[in-house]
Amino acid sequence: MSPALQQVYNSLDDKQKAGLHPTLRQVRRSGRYAATTNAPGQRAAEVCSNRVPELTDWPIERISEVVQPTDAQRPALDELGTASAKAIEILQSGCPKDLPSIPTGRLAAMESRLQVMLAAVQTLRPALERFYQSLSDEQKARFNAIAPAGDADAAGKDQHDLTKFCDEKAPGVTDLPIDRIGQAVQPTPAQRAALDELKDASVKAAEGLKVSCPAYQMLTPTGRVEAMEKRLAATLGVVKTVQPALAKFYNLLSDEQKARFNSLRSASRPAG
């Protein structure tokens, strides 16, 4: 790297350096500057879970047709419609629009996404519970039978997805490839201690997840939303447990070590 280019590189922050690494590799291969597309928004649709909208976007007209609410129950259904719209707005406006290039940034994006998803569910849940509790047993039974999005198998798939939620969202946080990180980074003794702390935090997070993340089946709309709220809270707790240890270890690394750590992303499951 030329002195001028080295000077520019040293002026960048970690995120900018991580984004520059693919371009530098392309320069070395071709011997000329070539633009590379990291497409930061390419997976924007994946940043927020596609399952939470299923629990926040309620088919109010269909619920009304099936449940046949009384005049006294109608205001509670209208409130549910308003809460559903607000929850969707929270998801659309609050979720991160891209995934950072560095591990600490990706974990921060995951935390932000989980917080937004949790806020959306918590916005909906009180209105849903008020409407549901206002129904008769017969109306509740009809409401329970409504399949999301008109899919006859959706209720079963929804429960399957909810049960798997923690298992799918937490990997990459609770099963960090510590050995691979160590091999790639080649930590110094001081860095090794921080890597051991990161390993301990990952194990602690995994143990906490087993205790806190419910896997039982819920058959009512209110039960499913409650279960999703608990799963989101449990997964958010995992991220908050691991995040300080990851930041401490990452910040101790040299630029070259950080670049090697960042390169592990392509060989592992995408975080967040």
Average pLDDT over every residue of 199-221: 80
Name all contacts of 175-178 with Cβ < 8 Å and 24+ positions apart: 175/202, 175/206, 176/202, 176/242, 177/264, 177/268, 178/202
23-51 burial code (b ≥16 CB/10 A, e <16): ebeebeeeeeeeeeeeeeeeeeeebbbeb
Residues 11 and 47 in one domain: no
For residue 25, the enclosing domain spans 1-38
**Residue 43, domain member (yes or no):** yes
Whether 77 contacts 131, CB under 8 Å: yes
**Residue 272, domain member (yes or no):** no
List pLDDT tens digits, range 43-78.
333 446 555 656 667 888 899 999 999 999 999 999
- Residue 29's pLDDT band (boundaries 50, 70, 90)? very low
**Residue 54, domain member (yes or no):** yes
- Residue 218's pLDDT band (boundaries 50, 70, 90)? confident
Residues 160 and 197 in one domain: yes
How many helices (H) and strands (E) in the chain? 13, 0
- Residue 23's pLDDT band (boundaries 50, 70, 90)? very low
What is the rounded CA–CA span in Å between residue 252 and residue 195? 10
- The residue among 12 and 122 whose pLDDT is bigger is 122
- The residue among 42 and 184 whose pLDDT is bigger is 184
Report percent pLDDT > 70 for the chain: 64
Nearest to 131 by CA among 116, 119, 146: 146
Residues 153 and 106 in one domain: yes
What is the rounded CA–CA span in Å between residue 248 and residue 250? 6
Average pLDDT over every residue of 5-22: 49
What pTM did the predictor assign?
Answer: 0.71
Strands (E), the chain: none
Q: Is the pLDDT of residue 272 over 70?
A: no
Residue-level pLDDT at 269? 45
Residues 115 and 57 in one domain: yes
Q: Which residues, at least 6 apart from 144, have a Cβ–Cβ distance to it below 8 Å?
A: 219, 220, 221
Residue-level pLDDT at 72? 96
Whether 36 contacts 26, CB under 8 Å: yes
**Total domains present in the chain:** 2
Whether 40 contacts 51, CB under 8 Å: no
